[in-house]
Amino acid sequence: MPFRGTLQDIRMFVAVYEERSFTIAAARENTTQPSVSHHIRNLEGILNVKLFVRENLGVTATPAARLLYPRYTEILRDIDNAANQVKFHALGHQGKLCVGVSPALCRYLTASTLVDYEQTHPNVAVRIKEVIGKAALDMVKSGKVDFAICSLSGEGEEGGVRVRTLTDVQNCLISRSLPESSNIVSHALPDQPLNLIWASVGGERYRTIVASLHANGMSIGKEMVLDSPFTALHLVAKSDWRIVAPCVVVDPILDAPHYSMLPLRKADSVFPISLVESVSRGLDPSAEDFIKILIERIRQADMAWEARFVSAI
């Protein structure tokens, strides 16, 4: 039978399905809870099927709702993409972007990306927000950022958010520069247990790096937790503390007087670069261009470091 509902019915359905709450869905869609309920009742009446069951702690999707969800999100993405393509061809890139970026990429690469992007798309206002790990999922889901480029491992889709890996870069053990060394790259293993700074301990990334250090013949002495990567880098430059971080966080020219870089075996330890995006909101061409420029910058920096690592052997 022909579908007699509205696009707003579909958007409210997707919001309730992803948030499992009429109240949170209303806040997300900038409307009221009665309005959300009205659209869901309208959709249920048109389809003659129950879509959600209200419970004390929220709502549960019915089998019918689970069947509709992937189809309705595809419809919304197609509509958004079609609208964005028309806008692009009619007026070119314009508007604004709010991008979540891992702090490891903000120190140098994001700035150079913004310079390149502004030259090509001067009418797009770009706002950068630093995001760490799984916090990117909530920021994309809530619409606080349009998308995020961060260091999440693995790929998949959950709760209306999709994660996919775009590239990865070499991890390094970063120490302060030694006065007798003129080369920022070192292949000499430390002869003492490492005093290491972490953003957090106990997680998958922590365990992977510890295993990689052991595989490279190193052991850990003292540990410190700092959730500010820039504070950690400054502390490393002034003390015997070290960090494990992607090579691209350091500039090989500007930072050469301050740091020593020991590459870890890439088979054991890499820094994944992932795109976090909404399932139901399509990326417009201005967003795709920003991602393309940033990823190209990351790859170029990683390749440049790899060449330095090889030449220093």
Tell me the domain boundaries of the chain: 7-88, 100-165+278-304, 168-271+307-311
Give the CATH superfamily of 168-271+307-311. Periplasmic binding protein-like II (3.40.190.10)
Q: Is the pLDDT of residue 72 over 70?
A: yes
**Helices 285-311 & 63-91, crossing angle to 10 degrees?**
90
Fold of 100-165+278-304: D-Maltodextrin-Binding Protein; domain 2 (3.40.190)
Residue 180 or 101, more confident: 101
Q: Where residue 89 falls among pLDDT bands split at 50, 70, 90?
A: very low
Q: What percent of the chain has pLDDT over 70?
A: 95
Q: Is the pLDDT of residue 18 over 90?
A: yes
Q: How many CB atoms lie within 10 A of CB 112?
A: 14
Domain 7-88: top CATH class: mainly alpha
For the segment 195-224, the average pLDDT, to the nearest whole number, is: 88
The whole-number pLDDT of residue 298 equals 94
Q: What is the mean pLDDT of the chain?
A: 89
Q: What percent of the chain has pLDDT over 90?
A: 58
Q: Is the pLDDT of residue 92 over 80?
A: no
Q: Where residue 227 falls among pLDDT bands split at 50, 70, 90?
A: confident
Look at phi and psi of residue 95 and say left if phi exceeds 0, alpha if psi is from -120 to 50, else beta: left
> Which residue from 259, 248, 244, 255 is spatially nearest to 304, judged by alpha carbons?
248
The whole-number pLDDT of residue 187 equals 81
pTM of the model: 0.75
